[in-house]
């Protein structure tokens, strides 16, 4: 079971009681360990994916081997690429990796198609996912063309920092987000550390001050 119908309803506001009950009994919960891969390019999609906890990164891989983050899913988000594959029958076109311990509901294809037809909140869930993906991709493309790698690193750290300025990301994770190598990120962070902009630790970066 996916949990209680009340928990499902809280995750998808406006969902009817009957739909919440159907998801409670029809969907299955899947735990994804930090760093584990949930989906790979070419996978057949058994249903829709809804994140109930944690964060997962959806990315593509260039011929050079560099990774390019398309979007990140968090609690309440659906995977719009999986929904597209579900309706089109096409294989999954990217990879999904857990940034942290995550929990995902897998809604069987037949059930999701039925709810998509009957429930406006389910349609809104899919459309919101599409909007987030387009916004994220356009933002990443704009940054890659209009900003240096160092500036993009600053922007990424600013987005990911918590209230205390701590970014819980390894250098490899930062490199994956920026589509570059860990060695390049190490040099950028080293220069930022020399300028007093960040402090680095094992798996973390602390933003001390932002560049002028």
Q: Domain with 73 in it: what CATH number?
A: 2.60.120.10
What CATH number has the domain bearing residue 156? 1.10.10.10
Residue 207 near residue 167, CB atoms below 8 Å: yes
DSSP secondary structure code for residue 78 in this structure: B
Residues 107, 139: one domain? yes
Residues 27, 77: one domain? yes
User: Is residue 111 in some structural domain?
Assistant: yes
Tens-place pLDDT, residues 33-72: 999 999 999 999 999 999 999 999 898 887 777 777 888 8
Burial of 162 (0-12, 13-18, 19+ CB in 10 A): exposed
Order of strands, edge to edge, in the sheet holding 37-39? 37-39, 95-98, 55-61, 67-74
Residues 109, 172: one domain? no
Query: Residue 156 — pLDDT band, cuts 50, 70, 90?
Result: confident
Tally the domains of the chain: 2
Asked whether the whole model's pTM tops 0.95, one would answer: no
pLDDT value of residue 4 = 66
Determine the average pLDDT of the residues in 189-197: 90
CB within 8 Å of 159: residues ≥ 6 apart: none
Query: Residue 112 — pLDDT band, cuts 50, 70, 90?
Result: very high
What CA–CA distances, in Å, run from 192 to 74, 78, 140, 150, 163?
29, 35, 21, 9, 20
pLDDT value of residue 155 = 82
Tens-place pLDDT, residues 159-181: 788 888 888 888 988 888 887 88
Max mean pLDDT range (1-10, 67-76, 186-195, 203-212): 186-195
Residues 140, 155: one domain? no
Determine the average pLDDT of the residues in 94-116: 94
Order of strands, edge to edge, in the sheet holding 102-108? 28-32, 102-108, 47-53
Instruction: Show which of 114, 145, 176 is a domain's final residue.
Output: 145
User: Is residue 128 in some structural domain?
Assistant: yes
**CA atoms within 13 A of residue 99's CA, in its CB half-sphere:** 23
User: Is residue 212 in some structural domain?
Assistant: no
Least confident of 39-48, 113-122, 131-140: 131-140
Domain boundaries, position 28: 5-145
**CA atoms within 13 A of residue 137's CA, in its CB half-sphere:** 11
Cα–Cα distance measured from residue 84 to residue 130, given in angstroms and rounded to the nearest whole number = 10
Residues 104, 132: one domain? yes
Instruction: Show which of 97, 113, 145 is a domain's final residue.
Output: 145
Instruction: Show which of 145, 178, 196 is a domain's final residue.
Output: 145
pLDDT > 90 fraction of the chain, expressed in percent and rounded: 43
């Amino acid at each position: 079971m996916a949990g209680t119908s009340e928990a499902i309803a809280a995750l998808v506001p406006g969902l009817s009681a009957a739909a919440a009950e159907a998801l409670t009994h029809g969907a299955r919960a899947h735990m994804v360990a930090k760093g584990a891969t949930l989906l790979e390019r070419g996978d057949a999609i058994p249903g829709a994916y809804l994140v109930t906890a944690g964060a997962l990164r959806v990315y593509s891989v260039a011929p050079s081997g560099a990774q390019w983050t398309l979007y990140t899913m968090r609690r309440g988000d659906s995977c719009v690429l999986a929904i597209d594959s579900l309706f089109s029958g096409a294989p999954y076109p990217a990879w999904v990796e857990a940034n942290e311990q995550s929990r995902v509901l897998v809604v069987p294809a037949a059930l999701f198609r039925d709810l998509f037809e009957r429930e406006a909140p389910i349609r809104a869930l899919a459309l919101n996912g599409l909007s987030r993906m387009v916004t994220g991709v356009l933002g990443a493309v704009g940054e890659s063309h209009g900003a240096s790698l160092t500036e993009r690193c600053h922007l990424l750290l600013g987005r990911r920092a918590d209230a205390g300025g701590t970014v819980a990301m390894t250098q490899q994770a930062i490199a994956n987000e920026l589509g570059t190598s860990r060695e390049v990120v190490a040099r950028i962070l080293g220069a930022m550390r020399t300028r007093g902009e960040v402090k680095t630790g094992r798996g973390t970066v602390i933003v001390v001050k932002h560049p002028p």
